[in-house]
Structure 1
Amino acid sequence: MISLTSVSKSFGSGARRTVALDNVSLDVPEGDIFGVVGQSGAGKSTLIRTVNLLERPDSGSIRVDGQELTALGDNDLRVARQGIGMVFQHFNLLSSRTVQGNVEFALEVIGVDSRERKRRAAEILDLVGLGAKASSFPSQLSGGQKQRVGIARALAARPRVLLSDEATSALDPETTRSILELFRTINRDLGLTVLLITHEMDVVKTICDSAALLEAGQIKENGRLVELISTPGSRLARDLFPLGAIGELPGTTVIDITFSGGNADRPVIAQLARDHAIDVSILGAAIETIAGNQAGRTRLGLPGDARSNAAAIADLRAQGLLVEIVGGAAA
């Protein structure tokens, strides 16, 4: 649905040149909610703005719904953009227009007649839960309601792709949850492909099917969350289940066990202690629902070094669990 191939973008020149995207390749499957996560300055906003060519890349290919956007002229690009909705962090609503008027504006600029504009705006405002606020002005709305207007405006032209540029970063936690639930509803009910950027792993955990880590303009890893969870050394998986620093534990092997899918509710630790006569210490644990599946990570301390615990660790791995030796006597 969205495919970026060897996309690069820089700003400035000479000593002032800044590389925002460095040979980025990324595929977003149709129907996915795909999160791009990274710290400030990683290039996230530049990346998402290249998808609809608000930022034209210096090089590379950008295909959306099978269409090569970089090859389009201005008129054809305007038409193609009608199929790509975008939600901004700061709402960008017209203060002089009502909620209904703001949504209609998105249709007005593409030449939809007045009757259809009114009908479609009313329909989409009902979808985002703001039908009763159609006559209100932006100044009369909460932050979450303003963002819902922004989402309604992005959906007005019936796009197949929805882009979200840090849409929840200015919202409080409760409002953020409601907006993320709305994104999931839109994805499910309208069949939209959603590409969102964020610096918050909670957003990725809550609604994303897939994710990519962007750092210094480069994709460091990406994939479906259910697969990343079981990938040794995955930084995204580590950040999904933060367990903190490992303290000094002389004479102890520290391991992280990642659970997912059908093995998330098995009594693995109790069985480990019983079968291998080990006094297991639980040093930390995190359980989440990731992409609709229960998953988690548990940090254990096993007495002795890695060699003396080799049989126990092999047993865990034979059960299909991801086991990583992360510290202690094995470090």
Structure 2
Amino acid sequence: MIAITDVTKTFGRADRRVTALDNVSLAVERGEIFGVAGQSGAGKSTLIRTVNLLERPDSGSIEVDGRVLTSLGAAELRSARRGIGMIFQHFNLLTSRTVQGNVELALEIVGVDVRERRRRAAEILDLVGLSSKACVYPGQLSGGQKQRVGIARALAAKPSVLLSDEATSALDPETTRSILALLKTINSELGLTVLLITHEMDVVKTICDSAALLEGGRVTETGNLVDLIRTPGSRLARDLFPLGEVHTPAGHTVVDITFSGGLADRPVIAQLARVHGLDVSILGAAVETIGGNQAGRTRLALPGARDDIDRALADLRGQGLLVEVVGGADA
């Protein structure tokens, strides 16, 4: 649905040029929710603004729903942008317009007649749970309600793609959960492809199907979340299940065991104790529901000879569990 290919974007003059995006390539499948994670300054906002060419890349191509936007003229680009909705961190609502007026604006700009604008605005406000606020002005709304208006406005023209630029970072945790649930509902009911950027891994693991990690303007990791969880050394997987720094007790080997799907109910600790005679210490654990499946990571300290431990770990790996040695002599 979205193909970003070899995109580079720089800012500034030749002697002080800053590279915001450095040869970035990403593929977002139709109908999925794709998250781009990274710290401030990583290039996330620049990346998402290149998708609808609010920022035109210096090189590379942007393709959305089969149209190469970077090759379109001005009139064709305006037409293509109607299929791409966008929601913003700070809402960007017009304070002089009512809630309904803000939603209608997107349709007014493209020439939709008054009757159809009103009908569509009422329909979409019902979807986002704001029918009762249609005649209210933005100044009378909470932050979560304002963001719902922003989402309704982005959906007004019936786009096939929805871009979300840190849409929840200005909201409290409870409101964030409600907005993420709304985005998930929209994705499911309308079949929208959603590309979102965030610096919060909670957002990624709550609603995303796939994700990419952006660092210093480069994509350092990307993939389906379930696949990433099973990938040794995955930075994204580590951040999804944070267990803190590794502290290795004397005479122990510390291992991280990652499980997902049907492997979540394996009696790992009991097996290590009963079958391999190891006295296991639990140093940490994190469990989440990702992609509709339970997944998690457990950190264990195992005492004893390394040969005995290696045999036990080989047994676990043979069952399909991802086992990584993170502390001890050979870590």
User: What TM-score range do you get, normalising by the shorter chain?
Assistant: over 0.9
TM-score scaled by structure 1?
0.99
Task: State the partner residue of 1:270.
Answer: 270
1:323 and 2:320 are equivalent in the alignment: no
Q: CA deviation at 1:220?
A: 0.3
Alignment correspondent of 2:209: 209
Paired residue total: 331
Report percent identity of matched pairs.
Answer: 76
Give 1:183 deviation, angstroms: 0.2
Hey, what does 1:2 align to over in structure 2? 2
Aligned to 1:152: 152
Shift of 1:226: 0.4
Once the two structures are TM-superposed, the CA of residue 308 in structure 1 deviates from its matched residue by 3.3
Once residues 155 and 59 of structure 1 are traced to their aligned partners in structure 2, the CA distance between those partners, rounded to angstroms, is 30
Shift of 1:305: 4.8
**Equivalent pair of 1:250/1:329 in contact (CA under 8 Å):** no
**CA displacement 1:173-202 (0-9 Å, x = unmatched):** 000000000000000000000000000000
CA distance in 1, matches of 2:248, 2:34: 38
1:196-233 superposed Cα distances (whole Å, 9 cap, x missing partner): 00000000010000000000000001000000000000
Letter in 2 for 1:56: R
Return the alpha-carbon distance in structure 1 between the equivalents of residues 306 and 41 of structure 2.
40
1:258/1:17 Cα in 2 relative to 1: closer, same or farther (>3 Å)?
Answer: same
Gaps of 5+ in 1: none
Query: What secondary structure does 2:275 align onto?
Result: helix
Task: Tell whether the 8 Å contact from 2:248 to 2:254 is kept in structure 1 after alignment.
Answer: no
How many Å apart are 1:9 and its aligned residue?
0.2
Give 2:177's aligned residue: 177
In the TM superposition, residue 269 of structure 1 has moved relative to its aligned partner by 1.2
**Alpha-carbon contact 2:248-2:301 (below 8 Å) kept:** no
Please give the residue correspondences for 1:180-191 in structure 2 after superposition, counting only pairs within 5 Å.
Answer: 180-191=180-191
* 1:273 shift after superposition: 1.1
- Verify the 8 A CA contact 2:278 2:304 in the aligned structure 1: no
Give the TM-score normalised by the residue count of structure 2: 0.99
CA distance in 1, matches of 2:317, 2:223: 22
Give distance in 1, aligned partners of 2:307 and 2:77: 62
Equivalent residue, structure 2, for 1:196: 196
* Residue matched to 1:313: 313
Shift of 1:329: 3.3
Aligned AA (1:120): R
CA–CA separation in structure 1 for the residues paired with 2:306 and 2:75: 64
Aligned counterpart, 1:244: 244
Task: Give, in whole Å, the separation in 2 of the partners of 1:287 and 1:174.
Answer: 20
Provide the rounded CA distance (Å) in 1 between the counterparts of 2:306 and 2:22: 40
Q: State the 1:265 CA deviation.
A: 1.4
| Counterpart in the other structure of 1:66 | 66
Measured in 1, the distance between the counterparts of 2:284 and 2:328 equals: 14
Quote how far apart the aligned CAs of 1:33 are. 0.2
Alpha-carbon distance in structure 2 between the residues aligned to 1:244 and 1:163: 32
CA distance in 1, matches of 2:164, 2:248: 42
**Structure 2: any 5+ residue segments left out of the alignment?**
none
The DSSP-based 3-state class of the residue aligned with 2:55 is coil
Q: Tell me the residue number matched to 1:114.
A: 114
Give, in whole Å, the separation in 2 of the partners of 1:306 and 1:52.
55
Q: Tell me the CA shift for residue 15 of structure 1.
A: 3.1
RMSD of Structure 2 on Structure 1 (CA): 0.8
Asked whether the equivalents of residues 34 and 209 of structure 1 are also in contact (C-alpha less than 8 Å), the reply is yes
CA–CA distance in 1 between the matches of 2:50 and 2:56? 6
Residues 306, 329 of structure 1: 8 Å contact kept: no
Report if aligned partners of 1:305, 1:330 keep a CA contact under 8 Å in 2.
no
Aligned letter for 2:191? G
How far the C-alpha of 1:330 sits from its partner, in A, is: 2.9
- Alpha-carbon distance in 2 for matches of 1:15, 1:244: 41
